[in-house]
Amino acid sequence: MRNEERRERLRTALIDAAERTIAAHGLSALKARDLAKEVGCALGAIYTAFPDLDALILAVNLRTLALFDRAIAEVRLAPEPEGPATPAEREAAIDTLVRLAVAYLHFAASNPARWRALFQHRMTGALPDWYLVEQGRLFHAIEAPLRVLRPDLSETERALLARSLFSATHGLVSLGLDEKLMALSERVLRGQIETVVRALGKGLARE
Amino acid sequence: MRNEERRERLRTALIDAAERTIAAHGLSALKARDLAKEVGCALGAIYTAFPDLDALILAVNLRTLALFDRAIAEVRLAPEPEGPATPAEREAAIDTLVRLAVAYLHFAASNPARWRALFQHRMTGALPDWYLVEQGRLFHAIEAPLRVLRPDLSETERALLARSLFSATHGLVSLGLDEKLMALSERVLRGQIETVVRALGKGLARE
DNA sequence: CGGCGTCGTGAACGTTGTTCACGAGCGCAT
DNA sequence: ATGCGCTCGTGAACAACGTTCACGACGCCG
Q: What share of chain A is helix, strand, coil (3-state, %, to 5)?
A: 80, 0, 20
More confident site: A112 or A2: A112
- Statement to judge: residues A32 and A91 lie in one domain: no
Out of B119, B171, B195, name the one closest to residue A172 (CB): B171
Are the CB atoms for A10 and A41 separated by under 8 Å?
A: yes
Q: Which residues of B touch A139 (CB under 8 A)?
A: none
With both helix axes pointing from N to C terminus, report the angle between A186-204 and A129-149 in degrees, rounded to the nearest 10.
60
Per-residue pLDDT, averaged over A117-134, amounts to: 78
What does the pLDDT read at residue B78? 61
Per-residue pLDDT, averaged over A119-128, amounts to: 75
- Listing DSSP states for A46-112 in one string gives HHHH-SSHHHHHHHHHHHHHHHHHHHTHHHHT-----SSPPHHHHHHHHHHHHHHHHHHHHHHHHSH
What does the pLDDT read at residue B74? 77
Distance CA B46 to C1' D21 in A: 14
Total number of domains in chain B: 2
Out of B163, B175, B196, name the one closest to residue A170 (CB): B175
- Statement to judge: residues B88 and B154 lie in one domain: yes
**φ, ψ dihedrals at A82, nearest 5°:** -120, 165
What does the pLDDT read at residue A22? 98
Residue A120: give its domain's CATH number: 1.10.357.10
Per-residue pLDDT, averaged over A29-47, amounts to: 96
Q: How do residues A149-194 score in pLDDT, each as one tens digit?
A: 999 999 999 999 999 999 999 999 999 988 666 778 999 999 999 9
Q: Which residues of A touch B168 (CB under 8 A)?
A: 168-169, 171-172, 196
Distance CA B25 to C1' C11 in A: 29
Per-residue pLDDT, averaged over A42-51, amounts to: 95
List bases, strand D, within 7 Å of protein CB: 7-13, 16-22, 28
B168 vs A: CB within 8 A: yes
Sequence-distant (6+) residues with CB within 8 A of A55 are none
3 state SS of A126: coil
More confident site: B7 or A39: A39
Q: What is the dihedral of CA B5, B11, B14, B15, to 10 degrees?
A: -130
- What are the C-alpha distances in Å from B172 to residues B61, B176, B187? 21, 6, 13
Are the CB atoms for A171 and A193 separated by under 8 Å?
A: no
A150 vs B: CB within 8 A: no
Q: What is the dihedral of CA A177, A182, A184, A189, to 10 degrees?
A: -80
Residue A6: give its domain's CATH number: 1.10.10
Interchain CB distance below 8 Å, B123 and A201? no
Distance CA B3 to C1' C1 in A: 26
* Containing structural domain, residue B40: 1-50
- Statement to judge: residues A145 and A96 lie in one domain: yes
Decide: residue A194, CB within 10 A, 0-12 exposed, 13-18 middle, 19+ buried. middle
CA distance B104 to chain A (A): 14
Residues A90 and B196: their CA atoms lie apart, in Å, by 18
Q: What share of chain B is helix, strand, coil (3-state, %, to 5)?
A: 80, 0, 20
A141 vs B: CB within 8 A: no
Tens of pLDDT, residue by residue, chain B (207 residues): 567 778 889 999 999 999 999 999 999 999 999 999 999 999 999 999 999 999 999 999 999 999 999 999 878 766 666 667 788 899 999 999 999 999 999 999 999 999 999 998 876 667 777 777 888 888 999 999 999 999 999 999 999 999 999 999 999 999 998 866 677 899 999 999 999 999 999 999 875
- Statement to judge: residues A112 and A156 lie in one domain: yes
- Statement to judge: residues A110 and A144 lie in one domain: yes
Sequence-distant (6+) residues with CB within 8 A of A188 are B160
> How many residues in chain A?
207
Interchain CB distance below 8 Å, B169 and A171? yes
- Statement to judge: residues B106 and B185 lie in one domain: yes
- What are the C-alpha distances in Å from B15 to residues A135, B11, B62, B110, B113? 39, 6, 10, 20, 15
What does the pLDDT read at residue B77? 64
More confident site: B169 or A132: B169
- Statement to judge: residues A35 and A136 lie in one domain: no
- Statement to judge: residues A45 and A97 lie in one domain: no
- Statement to judge: residues A97 and A163 lie in one domain: yes
How many interface pairs between A and B have CB atoms less than 8 angstroms apart? 105
Q: Which residues of B touch A172 (CB under 8 A)?
A: 164, 167-168, 171
Q: Which residues of A touch B161 (CB under 8 A)?
A: 192, 195
B204 vs A: CB within 8 A: yes
- On average, the pLDDT of chain A sits at 90
- Statement to judge: residues A29 and A78 lie in one domain: no
- Statement to judge: residues B154 and B171 lie in one domain: yes
- Statement to judge: residues B93 and B176 lie in one domain: yes
What does the pLDDT read at residue B137? 85
Sequence-distant (6+) residues with CB within 8 A of A195 are B161, B164, B204
Give the confidence band of A83 by pLDDT, cuts at 50, 70, 90: low
Per-residue pLDDT, averaged over A29-35, amounts to: 97
B47 touches strand D (CB under 7 A): yes
Distance CA B1 to C1' D27 in A: 13
Residues B96 and B105: their CA atoms lie apart, in Å, by 14
Q: Which residues of A touch B27 (CB under 8 A)?
A: none
Q: Which residues of A touch B199 (CB under 8 A)?
A: 199-200, 202-204
State the pTM of this model: 0.92
A183 vs B: CB within 8 A: no
Sequence-distant (6+) residues with CB within 8 A of B136 are none
Give the confidence band of A2 by pLDDT, cuts at 50, 70, 90: low
Distance CA A64 to C1' C28 in A: 46
A13 touches strand D (CB under 7 A): no
Interchain CB distance below 8 Å, B164 and A200? no
